[in-house]
Structure 1
Amino acid sequence: MTQTYSTDWDIDNYRDDTEPEEHWELRRAFMEAHKGTFSEEYLVALARTFANIEFMGCSYPAPVMIKIAELSKDVAKDYRDSQKDKLKRTFVTASSAAENKIKKRNTDPGSYTSEKKTKK
């Protein structure tokens, strides 16, 4: 038997004032698609997780990523299709950026390293 949850709550109460319209519409659609399947609190958390993955490129433990992928496949299809031709942001960790900078400095012939100091 599948458990059902209350649907007598207003999704619009969870809209953030600073949230872009496009983000809210997708997060709202996610909640509408699954309202009654999960508790209100859990669905709101899932929807925020979904939004973090879609809009900010966040990643979570594999079971969470799999669950969100399953729940969002129909909801996010049109949005994902519209994003295919748009510029993608790439986020890197600070440690990766520092490592790349050091690698570049050590391989760039014009960069300053201790081996390239000129003697007077």
Structure 2
Amino acid sequence: MTQTYSTDWDIEKYRDDTEPEEHWELRKAFMEAHKGNFSEEYLVALARTFTNIEFMGCSYPAAVMRRIAELSKDVAKTYRENKKTKLQRTFVSASNAAENKIKKRQSDPGVLPAARN
């Protein structure tokens, strides 16, 4: 027999005022999907772990990662699909940026040396 847990608690009380809307909506959906399957405290911790993985790239012991992957597969499906089409940031080191700027100056014959900055 599967154990059930109380569902008589408010998910909204776990919203963090500094949390971006997208993060909260995904964490809330995770908790809503699994409310009653875990204790309140454990589910809140799982949901925070889930969003840490999704948004910050955190990693945890293999057993935790497997459990979160299983619990989140349906909840995160839409988010993960949308993420694939979003603009991805690319960070460039300062030395590479400077090198590219110099190369651009050298390859642009229309710019006079005095005008180059």
TM-score relative to the length of structure 1: 0.72
Whole-angstrom distance in 1 between the partners of 2:4 and 2:85: 39
Mark the CA change 1:40 to 1:81 in structure 2 (over 3 Å): closer, same or farther: same
Q: Which residue of 2 aligns with 1:37?
A: 37
Query: Per the alignment, in what secondary structure is the counterpart of residue 32 of structure 2?
Result: helix
Whole-angstrom distance in 1 between the partners of 2:12 and 2:86: 29
Offset, 1:87: 4.0
Give aligned-pair identity as a percent.
84
2:6 is the alignment partner of 1:6: yes
CA displacement 1:10-68 (0-9 Å, x = unmatched) = 00000000000000000000000000000000000000000000000000000000000
Query: Per the alignment, in what secondary structure is the counterpart of residue 84 of structure 1?
Result: helix
TM-score relative to the length of structure 2: 0.74
CA displacement 1:69-102 (0-9 Å, x = unmatched) = 0000000000000001224468xxxxxxxxxxxx
Q: Which residue of 2 aligns with 1:49?
A: 49
Aligned length: 92
Backbone CA RMSD of aligned residues? 1.7
Mark the CA change 1:50 to 1:89 in structure 2 (over 3 Å): closer, same or farther: farther
Q: Tell me the amino acid that sits aligned with residue 40 of structure 1.
A: E
Gaps of at least 5 residues in structure 1 are 91-120
Whole-angstrom distance in 1 between the partners of 2:8 and 2:50: 22
Q: Which residue of 2 aligns with 1:21?
A: 21
Gaps of at least 5 residues in structure 2 are 91-117
